[in-house]
């Protein structure tokens, strides 16, 4: 008996030395979700965040910051400044007259505007002007720089798939070597893009649903995403209002997704962008997904009820996260007002990989796949 014990100890240490682990020891670690690195549900409150951003806009010069953003850092993922293990985000502030240099990178990026007119992102030669509620895309591989031509600060929420790009180990790097040439001249490196597309190019080409120009090249630079880079808030509101007469989804209310108008696919390969409208009094069912979602409250107030009895309370401009595997429902707590949530998830990634699962809990407690 003693001998076997001794042999087992030898087995363990010899295995370790050879870079081998014993399954019967590891099994608990593999199977117990407590051992996994996952984000936790969390809210970043605008009333706390706004003064810090305002302070940063005062004392952190753009030349130093390069991009002036405070990053939404999930407390469970420290020291990484990530919202989930797939999604990264921040809140950016540009003072009047400020600008940020051109670059590109493998992660896809997006801006959702919270405040100010006169802000813009130049993407592949298009100057995308922005106002509150507009969505601006910089799909992976597209050159982009920002600026504020307006009279007041511009503030937006950035969402990127950076952790996914990093976790997939594709050794992504930022690229700064942007060159432009006039016909017949040598290419010169530049810090901003020359605007080469018509004002409102994306909107003119693609914003009429169901109709696509057939004489235009839809490939924009090295983009693997939608050729439409701007989605106007006014169009989203029009769509949502038209949909009010239809029966809402039991979990997500009246919801729409921004799509690539040439394919109907998500606007970037990895993430889905959309808006949920919860009318006053709507009582959604609980749901659970294998995907993770981050939200920004565009209008109204409410709370996310979690299965463990905890709740996340939020109001306008707050940002919050519901990680994969969480039972949750969003409740509009303002009896006289619509609730509108901007929602970004990694659902397209999970779907493509065969990992997507979505469940709904009915009023009687039964759980159904959806």
Using CB under 6 A, list all residues that contact ligand 1HN: 67, 69, 90, 105, 109, 144, 146, 158, 160, 162
Q: Give me the least distance between CB of 69 and ligand 1HN, in Å please.
A: 5
69-102 in b/e form (b: 16+ CB < 10 A) is: beebbbebbeebbbbbbbbbbbbbbbeeebbbbb
CB nearer ligand 1HN, residue 176 or residue 355 = 176
Question: Between residues 98 and 158, which has the closer beta carbon with respect to ligand 1HN?
Answer: 158
* CA 82 to centroid of chain Cα atoms: 11
Task: Pick the closest to residue 301 from 92, 45, 112, 73 (CA basis).
Answer: 45
Shortest gap between Cβ of 230 and ligand 1HN (angstroms)? Answer: 15
Written as one string, the DSSP assignment of 286-297 is: EEEESS-EEEEE
Cβ at position 245, least distance to ligand 1HN in Å: 39
Q: Is 137 helix (H, G, I), strand (E, B) or coil?
A: strand
Give the residue from 229, 237, 206, 241 showing the smallest Cα distance to 135. 229
Residue 17 CB, nearest distance to ligand 1HN (Å)? 40
The residue behind tokens 């120009």 is 213
Find the residue with minimal CB distance to ligand 1HN: 67
The smaller minimum CB distance to ligand 1HN, of residues 70 and 207, is found at 70
What is the smallest separation between the CB atom of 104 and ligand 1HN, expressed in angstroms? 8
Q: Which is nearer to ligand 1HN, 147 or 261 (CB)?
A: 147
- Of residues 127 and 146, the one with the C-beta less far from ligand 1HN: 146
- According to DSSP, the β-strands at 144-148 and 293-299 are unpaired
């Amino acid at each position: 008996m003693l001998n076997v014990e001794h042999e087992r100890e030898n087995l363990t240490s010899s295995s370790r030395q050879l870079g081998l682990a014993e399954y019967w020891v590891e099994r608990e670690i593999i199977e117990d979700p407590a051992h996994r690195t996952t984000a936790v549900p969390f809210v970043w409150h605008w009333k706390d965040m706004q003064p810090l951003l305002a302070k940063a806009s005062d004392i952190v010069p753009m030349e130093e910051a390069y991009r002036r953003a405070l990053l939404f850092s999930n407390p469970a993922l420290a020291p990484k400044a990530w919202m989930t293990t797939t999604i990264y985000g921040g809140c950016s502030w540009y003072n009047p007259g400020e600008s940020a240099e051109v670059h590109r990178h493998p992660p896809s990026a997006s801006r959702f505007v919270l405040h100010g007119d006169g802000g813009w992102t130049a993407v592949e030669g298009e100057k995308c002007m922005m106002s509150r509620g507009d969505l601006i895309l910089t799909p992976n591989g597209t050159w982009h720089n920002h600026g504020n031509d307006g009279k007041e600060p511009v503030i937006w929420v950035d969402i990127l798939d950076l952790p996914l790009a990093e976790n997939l180990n594709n050794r992504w790097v930022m690229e700064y070597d942007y060159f432009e040439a006039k016909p017949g001249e040598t290419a010169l490196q530049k810090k901003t893009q020359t605007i080469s597309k018509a004002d409102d190019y994306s909107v003119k080409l693609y914003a009429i649903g169901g109709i696509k120009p057939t004489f235009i090249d839809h490939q924009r630079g090295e983009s693997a995403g939608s050729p439409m880079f701007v989605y106007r808030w006014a169009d989203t509101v029009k769509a949502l209002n038209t949909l009010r007469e239809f029966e809402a989804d039991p979990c997500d209310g009246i919801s729409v997704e921004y799509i690539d108008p040439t394919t109907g696919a998500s606007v970037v390969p990895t993430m889905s962008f959309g808006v949920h409208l919860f009318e006053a009094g709507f009582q959604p069912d609980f749901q659970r997904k294998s995907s993770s979602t981050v939200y920004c409250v565009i209008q109204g107030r409410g709370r996310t009820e979690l299965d463990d009895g905890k709740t996340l309370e939020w109001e306008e401009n707050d940002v919050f996260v519901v990680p994969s595997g969480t039972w949750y429902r969003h409740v509009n707590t303002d009896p006289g007002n619509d609730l509108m949530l901007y929602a970004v998830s990694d659902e397209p990634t999970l779907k493509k990989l065969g990992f997507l699962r979505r469940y709904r809990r009915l009023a009687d407690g039964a759980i159904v796949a959806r």
